[in-house]
Amino acid sequence: MMTNLDLTEEQQAIRDTVRRYAREKIAPRAAELDASAEFPRETVKELAEMGIFGIGFPEDEGGMGGDTLSYILAVEELSRVDGSHGITLAAHCSLGVWPIYAFGTPEQKAKYMPKICAGEYLSSFGLTEPEAGSDAGGTRTTAVLDGDQWVINGSKQFITNATHAGVLVITARTDLEAKRSHGISAFLLETDAPGFSLGKKEDKLGLRASDTRALVFEDCRIPKDALLGEEGHGFPIFMKTLDGGRISIAALALGIGQGALDEAATYSMERKQFGRRICDFQMIQTYLADMHTELTAARHLTYHAARLKDAGRRHVIESAMAKYFASTAAMKATCLAIQIHGGYGYTKDYPVERYFRDAKLCEIGEGTSEIQRIVIARELLKMHAD
């Protein structure tokens, strides 16, 4: 059971609405979608009609008028029954919509925000490349100005929502002489742009109903005014975007971990061994206690980071700590849930094996756990140096 953790009535209402929808409409199909790796078009459309894809953005921008924490609650509740739905929402809002909202010109926001907040089409974020994952400053995709158009060449890897996106936020090197993170710019690219194509669909371990593909740019041409923010300042844009995105992945991990705990607790009260319910055995109680304690701690970290973001305060270390701790807690919780289920947990008859596979991405995406430790340590040392 989860407490309200000082949520407002509006936040509780959003959480309860998404929870109810997820349990009634998504949970019955989650295993089927995982097996087929089919993108959940129907439920995504219904969530869009509910306003969920614009939940954390102002009404005058086309959003629902909620805050970051409301959005985080929605990601958590979707992920509690199916991580694929959770990451679809997370990648759209935190990586696709937010940089347009935060750095777009009035004209760019007027063109895209109403449609992406309404979920008419999804938005996506193209940062990772075959040779530039954790090393984001190693971007090799290039953008060269040719008259009134940018000509883009290169590729991106592991891009969520790519097939269903109408507009992409991508990064490319505009100053070919600049070193490392310098000389990288951000762009808005409509997916019908000439020279743009999608790569193969990834056959993934987990989050299988989430759409993940490569992006390919072959003399891809976009208008000069498709530049997002200032030329050469793309690196700070996507670093700030990732600060918020890490809170989303923490929420994804929370939901997956909580879903595994829900299943494990219920199973332990039903399963009998040696003539007793297994929840009566101290070792099982220890497992459940560890799972609940660590997920509760992760929830406090995650909600705190979201509240800092809502307050307009710096949240670099808080986002990194939330993502690192929540993803670690989720991985442990899903592993213990399988252990509690025993042999049945290793089969597809129970959802805990799916939670286990889904949780692993949380330790990798939007900065690996190793990267989070580096971010945390650097921020900590800055504090002590001041």
Among the listed residues 190, 294, 366, 370, the single catalytic one is 366
DSSP letters spanning 152-207: EEEEEEEEETGGGEEEEEEEEES-TTS-TTTTEEEEEEETT-TTEEEEEEP--SS-
* Six token digits for residue 299: 């929830």
Neighbouring C-beta atoms of residue 380, cutoff 10 Å: 12
Whether residue 302 contacts residue 319, with contact meaning beta carbons closer than 8 Å, is answered with no
DSSP string, 74-110: HHHHHHHH-HHHHHHHHIIIIIIIHHHHHH--HHHHH
To the query of whether residue 38 is one of the catalytic residues in this protein, the response is no
How many CB atoms within 10 Å of residue 135? 12
Are the C-beta atoms of residues 84 and 34 closer than 8 Å to each other? Answer: yes
> What is the C-alpha end-to-end distance of the chain, expressed in Å?
41
Active-site residues, by number, are 366
